[in-house]
Structure 1
Amino acid sequence: MPRHSEFARLGITLDRELRGGHQSRVWLATSHQGRSPHDLVIKIVDGAVDDRDHVIARLRLRDQVARYDDRVVPLVPLAGAMVNRVEHCFAIASPRIDGRFLDVTNRPDVERMGRALARLHQSLRLVQAELPMVRALRTGTPVEGLHDNHQLLHGDFGPTNLLLDGEGRLWILDFDDCGYGPVEFELGNTLFMALFETSPSLNQPSDEYRQFRRWFLGAYRASAELSVSELLVDIGLQARSDALRYWLSHLDEAPIGIKNATETWHRRLRAFAGIIQP
């Protein structure tokens, strides 16, 4: 984490940490740019765990998509730039939005998710970026069956990256994992996250998960331009599940959030993945 004084040249003061992880940390900050001080949210990304070109490509993508989809949280330039190097990290600013994360057991929330993803996919088809396939599809054995509907994907479309403000407006956060892939994989990935939220393991889907699945896929289909196959969605879910199992067995190849997690968290992930533990 850079020294707080290093952010002064960007015209901001870090106030308090909102959340943190192995790859990035998120802070509430005060901006001194403009006529009066105002709040910003600053994401600080460790430059050692991501390629600068990919960081910039994802930020440009997010900026472009926000022009088509007003639910995407826009970027705020600091010192005239969308991304700034602060010591060994990248600093990225967004406006502060007060709200709550979505509830995977609440039908209106889940249906909002489905509609929002359908619209986001429409917007993502209008832009291009120099990005690879999403990471889970580049992991382990190549996935058979997912050949069509390839386009840019959000890559991490789940309840903790969606914020509902006090006026009932939905906001989409965090394009850190975006890349190319089939839309059915994205749908399967969201189902994977709902499984993790609601079920003891991948092999023991709860009634809450089955309910989420029905509401989410129903809302997506009702709003999407292109039809999707539920069989291929299940293949996408399986691909995401296989990626987790692969990463847990090859931690040196895993995303930083899994690689550097605590042993307690590794045990929880193994239990969820159905991996027999010693």
Structure 2
Amino acid sequence: MPGLAVVTGASSGIGAATAVRLADDGYHVVLVARRKARLESLADKIQGRVAQVDVTDRAAVRTMTDSIPSCDVLVNNAGGAFGADEVATGDPADWERMFQINVLGTLHLTQALLPKLSAGSGGTIVNITSTAASVNYETGGGYSAAKHAQHALTETLRLELCGQPVRVVEIAPGMVRTDEFALNRFRGDAARAAAVYAGVEQPLSAEDVAACVSFVVGLPGHVNVDRLVVRPLAQAAQHKVHRSAIGAAPVQQTATARSGPPGVPGCAI
């Protein structure tokens, strides 16, 4: 039977959609993010609980998780990409921020909730990584490095928990169109953010990824989906994106329109 689920990055995008989907599945959802007003609005709709916490703050995470009596599902979704620069010119502050949120944020929540997840009949940890966790591309060095690290954390944890009643799942989305991901990456440049999706008939939505979370969580307890890579039909690989109607010949566009912003060829998460 559904119990309690903790979802990080729940104020928007995939996190918010996942919170809604798990609530529909019968879970009581704890919504974790920094933006309290957004959390409260969503919590009112799904009868969830607001936890205004920065996942990079280990002490705050511990305080929050100590107040949760049990946990059946943890979705480590909080993350993001900041900047799209080459390694030679990238800002170390951007790299540090990406590691803090994507990697250490996942670590903090996992460490704090693991005793509760492993209690009783056990629970499920779902880490939202990216196709960037396995495929590199120009100007994506910092984000890809962080997602590779998050993938390594996930795989290692699964090995270490073998024999315990905790499933460890990685969901690696490709091109997902949300309101904030690309916009944050390009520091509010709406034109560059829109170019990522130019001509693509139907990128994945946050709800599509949430459906994947619901699927892996809802499987029988002895079934573990180690890694689920999910892309839109129009994206065959990181650098292979069909930018026209499905079934139609690709529209001739400029290099930037075909590939999105320089060095970000169709990678939207």
After TM superposition, the score normalised by the length of structure 1 is 0.29
More relative contact order, 1 or 2 (CA 8 Å, 6+ apart): 2
After TM superposition, the score normalised by the length of structure 2 is 0.29
